[in-house]
């Protein structure tokens, strides 16, 4: 079985489609008629907003108003218009991502705003609800009005995905509709698999190593807890499952393999799309310590002076070294405008720095010119690079440049395919980009498109200690093929490939599945890429850029 087909076997996806119908006059339809979603499946943002507007019998828009959002289906626009006017969509970004599952906290905020309630944060005690967030006031409003109960005395469950059955129950409580008669569910499910995550041993292989270790003991523990644990209100099956998954993955001791709760995988995808909320830094967990790979350009992290390889030990006094990856990240993240005090360790010395959080939009591609030389700055390898770079480079070629500077400094990487796209602009079709070493053997990654830049146009690639992953793939490939001179300092040294597997409860697994090497077989992981010309950066005079210009002139 080859590398690609094996990944396809273990990838369990759930596609949540938004049902699109032409809106009619809103009548007194029941919740069940309005929200036709299977009880066990998550509900999408679009379906929930539409259902909420309908069951609350609100006047819908005409679908023609200008909206500050992207990718809104025409059939949903009238409901989105209504929700927008009420301020009910402020809990989302300008890309509403209406097909994505809605969380409990987001749903409560939407309902609070649609009802015209302001809410307050007095008496907020739940550890997973942070003061100042849009959901905070909505949570206490929901508890006060009896819309939704917390999962335990300490946790509300604000980030849990809202399932169909819970969404219907919530809407019924808001509009005062009686619950339908139903058979009481079994109190604990200890032998059957969780219905919304359909992963079986056969779907990942048949070897004994694929079987859950100590499965009978784990089931016996959970069964005994269900029958005998005194504090029943603290039994949280979802938290137990996620904690167990995190513990299994953590036992591997590999810094780039992590279990992602629903919020974590959403954050990962959002970053790839080019939007980051928080301090604006690419981070990884190394030996249990949150480590900065690279601060993003024009981010709060960069403004605060944070650098690649800085270790974040504490956030607002909370020790991050004992927390799972996403919990540690969540302590650093927070609402726009709030401050976080970080304890940083750099080269063995510790110091504190205050960072004001913000929403960081990463433009990815920036082109400037100097003396007929095109300077192409790539800030990460995301969707913009994948989709737009080739047309950008075609435009540069039409200007007949004297040379090209590809600036990959402090670029933390991203999509492997985007790296292939970058290399394809400067080398012939069929050029070897990297050798991918996996358990199934070695495969090669090659370009499939012709170059956009003539081969006689010289180029320089700029790198530094913040250039990682896909940046190193590109620099290494162009260096091995003799297409560019690499200038700067030794790169970060991340030479592994991660696959993100999404399960149908919107949790996921980011797992290291391969190691990449340069076309000439050089291993980069842990060692980094050595430039052809080593030049240290000087903040007063960009000596690295100066050297690049000297080479091209």
**Please, which residues bridge with residue 311 across strands?**
291, 345
Which among 480, 525, 532, 542 is annotated as catalytic?
480
Which among 101, 469, 471, 507 is annotated as catalytic?
469
456 belongs to the catalytic site = no
**How many angstroms separate the first and last alpha carbons of the chain?**
50
Which among 494, 505, 510, 547 is annotated as catalytic?
494
DSSP secondary structure string for all residues of 350-391: EEEEEEE-EEEE---EEEEEETTEEEEEE--BSHHHHHHHHH
CB atoms within 10 A of CB 166: 18
410 belongs to the catalytic site = no
Dist. CA 128–CA 111, nearest whole Å:
20
Dist. CA 19–CA 75, nearest whole Å:
9
532 belongs to the catalytic site = no
Dist. CA 373–CA 462, nearest whole Å:
14
| Residue 139 burial by Cβ neighbours in a 10 Å radius (0-12, 13-18, 19+) | buried
Dist. CA 442–CA 4, nearest whole Å:
12
Dist. CA 260–CA 258, nearest whole Å:
6
What SS3 state is found at 345? strand
- Strand duo 403-407 + 459-463: pairing: parallel
CB 325 within 8 A of CB 285: yes
Q: Following CA atoms 527, 530, 534, 537 in sequence, which dihedral angle do they give, to the nearest 10 degrees?
A: -50
Q: Compute φ and ψ for 482, nearest 5 degrees.
A: 70, 20
Catalytic positions are 469, 480, 494
């Amino acid at each position: 079985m080859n590398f690609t087909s094996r990944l396809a076997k273990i990838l369990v996806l759930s596609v949540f489609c938004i049902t699109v119908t032409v809106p009619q006059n809103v009548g007194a339809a029941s919740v069940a008629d309005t929200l036709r979603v299977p009880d066990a499946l998550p509900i999408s943002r679009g379906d929930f907003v539409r259902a909420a507007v309908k069951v609350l019998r609100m006047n819908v828009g005409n679908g023609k108003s200008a909206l500050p959002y992207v990718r809104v289906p025409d059939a949903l626009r009238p409901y989105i218009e209504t929700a927008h006017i009420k301020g009910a969509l402020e809990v989302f970004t300008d890309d509403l991502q209406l097909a994505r599952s809605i969380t409990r906290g987001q749903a409560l905020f939407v309902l609070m705003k649609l009802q015209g309630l302001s809410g307050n944060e007095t008496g907020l005690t739940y550890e997973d609800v942070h003061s100042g967030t849009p959901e905070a006031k909505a949570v206490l409003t929901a508890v006060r009005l009896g819309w939704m109960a917390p999962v335990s005395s300490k946790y509300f469950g604000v980030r849990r995905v809202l399932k169909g059955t819970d969404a219907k129950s919530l809407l019924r409580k808001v509009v005062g509709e009686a619950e339908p008669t139903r058979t009481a569910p079994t109190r604990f499910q200890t032998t059957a698999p969780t219905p919304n995550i359909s992963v079986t041993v056969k779907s990942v292989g048949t070897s004994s190593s694929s079987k859950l270790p100590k499965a009978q003991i784990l089931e016996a523990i959970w069964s005994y807890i269900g029958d005998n644990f005194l504090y029943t209100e603290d039994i949280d099956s979802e938290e137990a499952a996620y904690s167990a998954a995190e513990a299994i993955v953590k036992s591997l001791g590999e810094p780039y393999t992590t279990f992602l709760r629903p919020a974590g995988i959403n954050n990962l995808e959002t970053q790839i799309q080019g939007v980051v909320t928080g301090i604006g830094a690419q981070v990884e967990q190394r030996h249990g310590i949150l480590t900065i790979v690279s601060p993003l350009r024009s981010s709060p992290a960069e403004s605060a002076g944070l650098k690649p390889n800085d270790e974040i030990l504490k956030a607002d006094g909370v020790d991050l070294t004992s927390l799972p990856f996403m919990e540690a990240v969540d302590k650093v993240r927070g609402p726009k405008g709030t401050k976080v005090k970080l304890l940083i360790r750099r080269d063995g010395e510790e110091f504190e720095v205050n960072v004001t959080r913000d929403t960081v939009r990463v433009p990815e591609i920036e082109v400037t010119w100097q003396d007929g030389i095109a300077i192409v700055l790539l800030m990460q390898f995301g969707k913009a690079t994948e989709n737009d770079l080739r047309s950008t480079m075609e435009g540069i070629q039409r200007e007949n440049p004297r040379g090209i500077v590809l600036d990959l400094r402090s670029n933390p990487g991203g999509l492997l395919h985007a790296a292939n796209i970058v290399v394809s602009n400067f080398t012939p079709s069929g050029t070897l980009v990297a050798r991918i070493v996996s358990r199934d053997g070695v495969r090669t990654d090659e370009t499939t498109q012709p170059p956009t830049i003539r081969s006689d146009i010289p180029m320089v690639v700029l790198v530094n200690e913040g250039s990682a992953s896909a940046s190193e793939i590109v620099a290494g490939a162009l260096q091995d093929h003799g297409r560019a001179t690499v200038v700067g300092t030794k790169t970060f040294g991340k030479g592994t490939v991660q696959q993100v597997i999404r399960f149908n409860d919107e949790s996921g697994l980011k797992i290291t599945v391969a190691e990449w090497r340069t076309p000439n077989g050089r291993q980069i992981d842990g060692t980094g890429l050595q430039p052809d010309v080593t030049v240290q950066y000087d903040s007063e005079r960009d000596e690295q850029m100066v050297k690049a210009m000297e080479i091209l002139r």
